[in-house]
Amino acid sequence: MNLNDAIRKVPDFPKPGILFYDVTSIFINSEAFKYVLSEMEELYKDTRIDGIIAIESRGFLLGAPFALKRSLPLVLARKKGKLPGDIVEQSYSLEYGEATLEIHKSDLTPGKNWLIVDDLIATGGTLEAVAKMIESQKASVAGIFSIIGLPFLNYMDKIKHYNPKTLINYQGE
C-alpha cells in the first residue's frame, strides 16, 4: 500500500508556511488504517512492551487498537486540565507554539516498559515530554511509534535514544 497517497496534505495550516499532514484521512480509509496497525504489529513483534501511552488525540486512535490486540494497558497522555486526580505533567515547545501534557501518576507503573504512540513526529518535543514523564515515575520507554516523521525538523536530536519508528518520512516541501 502507498500510505503517502492516503494522507491529506493541507498547506498553510495552522499558520502560513506550514504544510499540515492530516492523518485523519487514514482513519476514513479502512485499508490504510489496517495497514498502519499491521505495520505497528510487525515493528514491535519482538519488543517487550508492558503498556501503551497514547498522545491526545490522534495517538488515541492508534494506541487503542494496538493495546487491545496485544492485551496491554492503555494510558492516555492528555492536554493540561483534562485529567482529575494526582498527575505528572510536562511542558514542551512545538514547531509553532507551546503546550503541556499530563498523565495520571498511578497509571505509570514503575519498572514497566511503555511504547509511546502518536500520529506525527515534528520537532520531537511532545514525545520527549511524555518520555520525561515516564522516566520521572521510574519506568522506561520501550520505543516511540508514529505514522509520519519530519526529520528536517531534527527530531532525532531530542528523541534518538528512544528508538523512534515511523512509516513515512517527509523531507520538507
Catalytic residues: 58, 95
| Gap between the Cα atoms of 51 and 5, Å rounded | 31
Tell me which DSSP letter residue 32 carries: H
Q: Is 144:115 a contact under the CB 8 Å cutoff?
A: yes
* Cα gap 20→4, rounded to integer Å: 13
Q: Determine contact, residues 159/124, Cβ cutoff 8 Å.
A: yes
